[in-house]
A and B are shown apart, each in its own frame.
Chain A
Amino acid sequence: MPAQQIFDSPADAPQRAGVGFKPQHFHAAMEAPGGVAWFEVHAENYMGAGGAPHRMLAALRERFPLSIHGVGLSIGAEKGLDPDHLARLKSVVEQYGPSLFSEHLAWSSHDVGYLNDLLPLPYSTETLQRVCAHIDLVQQTVGRQMLLENPSSYLRFEHSTLRETDFLKEVAQRTGCGLLLDVNNVFVSATNLQMSAEAYIDAFPLEAVGEIHLGGHATDADDDGAPLLIDAHDREVADPVWALYQYVIDRIGPKPTLIEWDNDVPDWPILAAEAERANEVLIAAETSEAGRGRAA
């Protein structure tokens, strides 16, 4: 086992931009972080026993607040949570003391194995009970609040009876978890399911939002030739997503905001520039809050 890292209790995540950490950016990020104020990592990449991943993350953690973002817990799974995986998640969170800790409203495992994708859930009283029970277990086991992220949707279920926003509102109320609002996912889902993205934001329980995600999407076409957006995280954040982000920040004020860029990863300066763009929105919101006398 790697030497156990002992850190001070986690600082609140700054109301500034962070980026998803990529090992190839390690040196550039340490030398010239620019406006990047914190880093998010996928918990599963740090579940090995030792080696370079842990050494890098420990060095990063000494200088920056971290967010641990799980991608493999399968909170929506019919088969239940994997106790071994939950124990590993707890261990990573304890080792690195992140400021933020989150997972997804999705499932990714079934009896045959782990499918490495965030798969969709219908929204019903049955799935609501299941998701709440699983989040209760996560928060009890890890010993802290988690944030739950809204998914990108590509299709409709026959038997959904609740709106996603109502589902998330109920989950947050019943479990006390916070929410991670992925603004790109909202735009992707709204386009794919032909809804209004602004109406989705208006219906979203914004008071529970503890973190925001921004990322790039690709464009495809559905069975009838209508646009089908794919949550690809492989390019810059699209302009309409920046506009929707502004719409959100205007309502809730500055929040820790992550730039996700996981495929066709660019050189560090390009990623840092995306973070700067988010910072401009956040700083403007902070200034306007202060002007209205709402700042602490």
Chain B
Amino acid sequence: MQPEEEGAYQAEFTAALLDPNAQAPSAIASGQERRFAVYRNNVIVSLVEALAAAYPAVQALVGEAFFNAAAGLFVRSHPPSSPLMIYYGEGFAEWLERFEPAANLPYLPDVARLERLVLEARNAADAEPLSQQGFAQIAERAGAEGLGGLRFAPHPATRALASAYPIVSIHARALLGGEGELRGAETALVTRPQDEASIIAAPTGTDLALGCFAQGGDLTQAAEQVAEAGGDFSLALSTLIQNGAIRG
């Protein structure tokens, strides 16, 4: 069956669900505004709740009332692109960047980006991480000359984000509380060593090393990229391995 069939009403129904000012669709018998509103409420509330579940730190930073108002606008303009609600909320960080009422919290989009990475990590494919021992064996086999040419793949659940803000500290503070001034830039490393995703503040350039590995680059290339950014490659690499961020 195609949309041009005679009784097609779902386009009008959908538009009326997403527009709080629209009248109930013409396909339903008249005098049922409040009845139609049940569906509209179900759609909007369930999507706002899904967004709140995906972005708990953003919600904690702006408060529930502000979050619900912002989320209500987002979900109407960005309904899910698929029925996989476990991934809903893509684009929220970019949307927040353009959301004027949140402009006084310039780090908010990065908090949202970090929470998005946690969501991706949680549902990413399973794989054995490379252990420290495993890395040591590979390095020994390669020898001093071969070391720079080694290639590693990130674990499927590994994500990283370099922020101009102390993003890991802000995120932890939003969810767990704490006091004192936060400053500086932080690079977040998200891994899933067991079932739960974990976030740590990683050395500068850790995201670049991961990105280089993901592109098929070797240790020498990764080291160059990290050094260019002013980072310490051996520190970044040992952080990745200690946290199970590399695929075994």
Chain A residues at the B interface, C-beta cutoff of 8 Å: 1-3, 44-45, 47-55, 71-74, 77-80, 82, 84-85, 88, 107-117, 119-120, 122, 124, 126-127, 129-130, 133, 154-159, 192, 220-224, 228, 230
Contact = CB atoms under 8 A, between A and B. Distances in A.
B159 to A, nearest CB: 13
Nearest to A111: B11
Contact of A157 (B17, B28, B47, B80): B28
A48 B86 contact: yes
A281 B89 CA distance: 43
Nearest to A114: B80
A88 B86 CA distance: 14
B123 A119 contact: no
Contact of B123 (A53, A122, A126, A157): A53
A2 B83 contact: no
Given A117-B39, A133-B1, A228-B38, A72 B126 contact: no
Across the A-B interface, the 9 shortest Cβ-Cβ residue pairs: A72-B83, A48-B123, A113-B79, A50-B126, A52-B195, A49-B125, A155-B35, A110-B14, A130-B1
Contacts of B43: 115-117
Contact of B80 (A45, A113, A159, A224): A113
A157 B14 CA distance: 15
Contacts of B195: 51-52, 55
A156 B8 contact: no
Contacts of B27: 122, 157-159
A73 B82 CA distance: 10
Interface of B: 1-3, 5-11, 13-14, 17-18, 26-29, 31-36, 38-39, 42-43, 46-47, 50, 79-87, 121-127, 156-157, 192, 195-196
A118 B12 CA distance: 16
B124 A114 contact: no
7 contacts: A44-B84, A49-B123, A49-B125, A52-B195, A73-B83, A113-B80, A115-B17
Contact of A114 (B7, B18, B42, B82): B82
Nearest to A126: B7
A122 B46 contact: no
A113 B42 CA distance: 16
Contacts of A73: 83
Nearest to A131: B1
Given A45-B86, A51-B157, A156-B32, 13 more contacts: A50-B127, A51-B123, A52-B195, A54-B126, A72-B85, A74-B83, A78-B8, A112-B14, A114-B83, A157-B27, A158-B26, A159-B7, A224-B31
B14 A220 contact: no
A107 B83 CA distance: 11
A107 B8 CA distance: 13
Given A156-B28, A158-B29, A220-B38, A116 B85 contact: yes
Given A112-B18, A117-B46, A122-B7, A51 B38 contact: no
Contact of A49 (B1, B14, B156): B156
B32 A114 contact: no
Contacts of B80: 113-116
Contacts of A71: 83
Q: Which of B3, B5, B84, B121 has the most CB of A within 10 A?
A: B84
B10 A110 contact: yes
Nearest to B88: A116
